[in-house]
Chains A and B, each alone.
Chain A
Amino acid sequence: MSEHDTKSEKEPNSPERRRFIGAATAAAGLAIAPGVMLYEVAHGRPEEQAASSAVRWGMLVDATQCATGCDDCVSACSTENGWTPVAESRHPKQAPQWIRKLELQDPLTQMETNLPMMCQHCADAPCVDVCPTGASFKRADGIVLVNRHTCIGCRYCMMACPYKARSLVHESLNDTQLADVPRGMGCVEACTLCVQKIDRGDGNTACAEACTAAGHNALLFGDMNDPESEISKRLRELPTKQVRADLNLNLGVRYHGI
């Protein structure tokens, strides 16, 4: 994989970024009434307020801290989002997996690396491009989602995703789904960056919380557009890569130590 990541290097000075800073400065002057200030988006937002492109949610995965054999992030995701863990499924090949632990080994050096793999929340997502009905979409704050009402289950997005991040719900869920995580047989689904938690204002994902709780600190979630956020600071310091950077998809998930 290429060490160079032109898009992420350019990002801080992109026109979009400049426009945001301009808009945010203008908005800050007017921000007297509570609840309308742009940065408040990061602290949960009222239902009627749309997601803002001022924010770009993202994740930093530090593979050097990711422990072999630990799958706390996977269990936490399954619990938070209500999908059955693959070990408990009667149909493991057909069972949805929103996040999985990937073990890598260099055949030459025998060097082993562990990392979680999930939807990379591409800025230019192939799944969004190919979806015939527009059910696959990218929210203004960078989260790639599937609209449960317009997904027709064609699986073209699964064919298009370079990360094998998406799953089709192959069988009836028997009402195992959770109230704030709509799912459905015949629809495609994937990691939502715990969108329900973000919209509640939790400011973190279940996987990152679990990783921190386990003391590994391999996952850091935050707003990549906010230069003062913890994730932005870490991304400035640590050398990171995007998986299949050659595809130039501008990913929301960045990896250190791969």
Chain B
Amino acid sequence: MASITFREVEGSSLKYWMLFGVLGLFVLFGALAWNHMHHYGHVVTGMDNQIVWGLPHVFAVFLIVAASGALNVASIASVFNKPMYKPLAPLSAILALALMLGGLLVLVLDLGRSDRLIVAMTHFNFKSMFTWNVFLYSGFFGLVGAYLWTMLDRNVKPYSKTAGTAAFIWRLILTTGTGSLFGFLIARELYGTAMLAPMFIIMSFAYGLAIYLMVLAAAYSWTGRTLGDAVMMRLKSLLAVFVAAVLYFVVVHHMTNLYFTKYHAVEAFILRDGGIFTTLFWVGQILIGCVAPLVILLSSLGKQRTWIMIACVLIVLGGIAQMYVTIIGAQAFPLDMFPGLKETSSFFDGEVHSYAPSVPEFFLGLGGVAIALLVTTFAVKLLRLLPASLDDATVAKLEH
């Protein structure tokens, strides 16, 4: 197999530091937003005792799910022995770590008592899916970190496959855990199903790869390195398969619910009467997130790089819409404590709950995205993560 040269990004141009500065600014906004929420309490957010998880959770869960998906490219290289993917693997691993960091920061900074993070790390209830996730997230950092090390240090290179396989298995368990955060809840009608675990895994494949492709293309375009079509075409076909699989899972989930009379009300809410949630489901999750990217990726448009990038952006937007519907839509629909009866109370029982995200929540979420991108931007300058060239000839040599 031909060898490939990895080289740091020089990162001394004005453009690099501008990018760094803009991302840093958003990290600062995120920090200020957290400070505001932490000082005044959640009263300054749009969240209340009805919608208890809001926009920060949408961002956090999206980033965590995308993080495990971003690792896929590396997994294909080491676990499934596809040499073409090997040069793409280091970026995949660092992006996975960065996205995970961003997601976790948003998650913990949205806690009612974010100052008590140490309590979450020292007191455990092993029946809680959240506790499991604490270990899954820490393990992810450890395993992916070790895997990255085996890719960057020749002395430990022989362990790369073992580390890659361990990271791959771990990431599958991790996303199972993320999906099960919701899957293990009995109270809400849209949750409480094993379906959410595999559905989150397939969503992670799509969201993670879409983000990976955008970062890869941006890195090569902005540094003036060559990124050949061979790589792009292979990855975009893979992306189309993932998006189709997401659509399949979403359809099966809702079709199953539609068959059960007890779920008719909540399905009618999401699919027909839910206002913003219905719009976000059909226009955001289905049309923008699945149908439009599929049309682009599977048609001749998918041969053009600009259109592939548009498809990636649409998948990410659709993914955020999906998280919004999954997390907030499920809470907006009232709990059915007395099936068949109309409920009213001072605590808004029996009513559809409204939610308007506040500015601090939005910036806290964006802060997580910015941290992820900032870490990636800095890492490619610091470490040899990107091949000097990914032109078609170099890539073709890898496969022979």
The residues of A with any CB-CB pair to B shorter than 8 Å are: 1, 86-87, 91-97, 100-107, 113, 117, 126, 128-135, 150-156, 158-164, 166-172, 185-188, 243-244, 247, 258
* A185-B41, A185-B112 given; A152·B341 CB < 8 A: no
- Does B7 reach chain A (CB closer than 8 Å)? no
Q: Is A1 in contact with B113, judged by CB distance below 8 angstroms?
A: no
Q: A83 CB to closest chain B CB, in angstroms?
A: 12
* A130-B130, A152-B120 given; A94·B186 CB < 8 A: no
Q: Is A186 in contact with B52, judged by CB distance below 8 angstroms?
A: no
Q: B360 CB to closest chain A CB, in angstroms?
A: 13
**Given A159-B185, A159-B331: 11 more A-B contacts, CB < 8 Å:** A102-B345, A105-B342, A107-B340, A129-B128, A131-B125, A152-B111, A153-B111, A153-B116, A172-B41, A186-B112, A258-B338
Q: B138 CB to closest chain A CB, in angstroms?
A: 13
- Does B134 reach chain A (CB closer than 8 Å)? yes
9-residue interface stretch from B161-169, B280-288, B346-354: B346-354
Q: Is A159 in contact with B184, judged by CB distance below 8 angstroms?
A: no
Interface class of chain B by DSSP: loop
The residues of B with any CB-CB pair to A shorter than 8 Å are: 40-43, 47-50, 52-53, 111-114, 116-117, 119-120, 123-125, 127-131, 134, 181, 184-188, 331, 335, 337-349
Q: How far is the CA of A122 from the CA of B349 in the complex (A)?
A: 20
Q: Closest 9 CB pairs between A and B?
A: A153-B112, A186-B112, A132-B130, A171-B43, A93-B48, A133-B123, A162-B187, A134-B125, A170-B43
| Cβ-closest chain A residue relative to B327 | A159
Q: A181 CB to closest chain B CB, in angstroms?
A: 18
Q: Which residues of the partner chain B approach A158 to less than 8 Å between Cβ atoms?
A: 49, 52
Q: Is B123 in contact with A134, judged by CB distance below 8 angstroms?
A: yes
Q: Is B348 in contact with A93, judged by CB distance below 8 angstroms?
A: yes
Q: Is B349 in contact with A171, judged by CB distance below 8 angstroms?
A: no
Q: How far is the CA of A150 from the CA of B131 in the complex (A)?
A: 14
Q: Which residues of the partner chain B approach A244 to less than 8 Å between Cβ atoms?
A: 337
Q: Is B42 in contact with A168, judged by CB distance below 8 angstroms?
A: yes
Q: Is B49 in contact with A103, judged by CB distance below 8 angstroms?
A: no
Q: How far is the CA of A153 from the CA of B89 in the complex (A)?
A: 38
27 contacts between A and B (CB under 8 A): A87-B346, A92-B346, A93-B49, A94-B47, A95-B49, A96-B49, A97-B49, A100-B346, A102-B349, A103-B344, A104-B343, A106-B342, A117-B337, A126-B187, A130-B130, A132-B123, A132-B124, A132-B134, A133-B123, A151-B113, A160-B185, A162-B337, A163-B335, A170-B43, A170-B49, A171-B41, A172-B41
* A132-B130, A158-B49, A186-B41 given; A106·B340 CB < 8 A: yes
Q: Which residues of the partner chain A approach B340 to less than 8 Å between Cβ atoms?
A: 106-107
Q: Which residues of the partner chain B approach A185 to less than 8 Å between Cβ atoms?
A: 41, 112
Q: Is B111 in contact with A132, judged by CB distance below 8 angstroms?
A: no
Name the one of B112, B119, B342, B349 contacting A155, with C-beta atoms under 8 angstroms.
B112
Q: A48 CB to closest chain B CB, in angstroms?
A: 23
Q: How far is the CA of A89 from the CA of B186 in the complex (A)?
A: 31
Q: Is B125 in contact with A133, judged by CB distance below 8 angstroms?
A: yes
Most chain B CB within 10 A, of A93, A95, A162, A247, is at: A93
Q: Is B184 in contact with A168, judged by CB distance below 8 angstroms?
A: no
